[in-house]
Amino acid sequence: MADHYDVLGVQPDASDADIKKAYRRLARELHPDVNPSPDAAERFKDVTHAYDVLSDPEQRRRYDAGPQESPFGGGAAGGFSDIFDAFFGGGGGGGRGNGPRSRAERGQDALLRIEVDLDEVVFGTHKDVEVDTAVVCETCNGSCCAPGTSPRTCDICGGSGHIQRQVRSLLGNVVTSAPCGTCRGYGTVIPNPCPTCQGQGRVRARRTIPVDVPAGVETGLRLQMPGQGEVGPAGGPSGDLYLEVKVRHHDVYSRDGDDLLATLEVQMTDAILGTHTTIDGLDGPVELEVRPGVQSADVLVIKDRGVTKLRGNGRGDLRVGVQVVTPTKLSHKERQLVEQLAKAHKGPGPQLARFQQGMFGKLRDRFFNF
């Protein structure tokens, strides 16, 4: 590693004014606008970095001190760090965990909401979801450095990522370790950050993620997609993507667990005589037989025509509640026919029925109490 004083051509005891003067002289000589040679460009970077360190009083003091060794030795320092941790909750120098930390960190998890139709829930569906997220920078491939360059070992901490200090405490003189303020604990600095990601190793971008939505999902259910979240800093591993499902309202069908619910309007004459009909199910036509004398709130059950179960095998049922429709407008001839029917089928007039437990529940909850 080149000595900063040698790079600027000054002595270690040079004053701040001498350092500034040397930097200006070399900058005029080596600046890319004046000297286009590649060697000059590299020297200009070295000169600029050396001046950044030596012109700052605190950084210069640390540089002059150099990386410090623990006065307790290798084995003793580790044991003393354990004692220090026990009393002060960590921070002892020279022990475990004081190495430089990696720039690459795990990315954050992401949460998206997707909407699916009820018919897509029956058998599951495939969707392509667009998401704005962090992806690896293609220019530096996550290295954070401009192409053709690489990180440089920190001059202040010597690559350890930490600065050790000897302080006095109740236990006497101890060595504490703190992250290096120059490299922020990484042990390296990036003199030439990538111009695309500004040294982050990742950029924001829109990408398309294929999603297989399983059958049987419900509103509020979250699907986890490991490794599909944001890429971490410096190209670190991606977080997870969570998809929160919302099932859209359907105009005809509703859902009760794995069962599908619908209401069938039956004309009064069909309710009396019975009939066959075909309805449009969510997965194709469904044949229904309406028996003679069917009543409102009766439920027709078609097995295995509901939603595919999310966990387990098979499907739920399709439950169709009957609603007998009484005509409100009749022609003169229709009224005569109804009157004839009433005379032929004379029954008691309207009257209160004897209360039976569950009767009103059946009318109120013809699906859910079936």
Q: Tell me whether residue 100 is exposed, middle or buried, using C-beta atoms within 10 angstroms of its C-beta: 0 to 12, 13 to 18, 19 or more.
A: buried
Decide if 236 contacts 106 (C-beta within 8 A). yes
Measured distance CA(96)–CA(37) in Å, rounded? 46
Give the pair of three-digit tokens for residue 366.
């013809």
Does the annotation flag 157 for ligand binding?
Answer: yes
Measured distance CA(28)–CA(47) in Å, rounded? 11
- pLDDT for residue 90: 43
Does the annotation flag 194 for ligand binding?
Answer: yes
- pLDDT for residue 356: 60
Number of Cβ within a 10 Å radius of residue 30: 20
Measured distance CA(318)–CA(305) in Å, rounded? 5
Q: What are phi and psi of 253, to 5 degrees?
A: -105, 150
Decide if 244 contacts 112 (C-beta within 8 A). yes
Does the annotation flag 180 for ligand binding?
Answer: yes
Residue with tokens 């890429």: 231
Does the annotation flag 197 for ligand binding?
Answer: yes
Give the pair of three-digit tokens for residue 292.
């003679």
Query: 333 vs 271, 324, 337, 344, CA distance in Å?
Result: 20, 22, 6, 17
Residue 7 banded pLDDT, cuts 50, 70, 90: confident
**Per-residue pLDDT tens for 227-261?**
999 999 999 999 999 999 999 999 999 999 999 99
Helix (H, G, I), strand (E, B) or coil at 281: strand
**Per-residue pLDDT tens for 179-211?**
888 898 999 999 999 999 999 999 999 999 999
Does the annotation flag 140 for ligand binding?
Answer: yes
The least confident of 37-51, 252-266, 351-365 is: 351-365
Give the pair of three-digit tokens for residue 337.
């026919």
Decide if 182 contacts 191 (C-beta within 8 A). no
Query: 27 vs 20, 42, 51, 286, CA distance in Å?
Result: 10, 12, 10, 84
Number of Cβ within a 10 Å radius of residue 106: 15
**Per-residue pLDDT tens for 140-161?**
999 999 999 999 999 888 899 8
Mean pLDDT for the chain? Answer: 83
Of 287, 249, 270, 280, residue with least CA distance to 322: 270
Mean pLDDT of 162-171: 72
Number of Cβ within a 10 Å radius of residue 248: 12
Does the annotation flag 183 for ligand binding?
Answer: yes
- pLDDT for residue 249: 94
Beta strands in 226-333 (DSSP E): 241-247, 254-256, 259-267, 275-281, 284-290, 299-302, 318-325
Say yes or no to pLDDT of 73 above 50. Answer: no
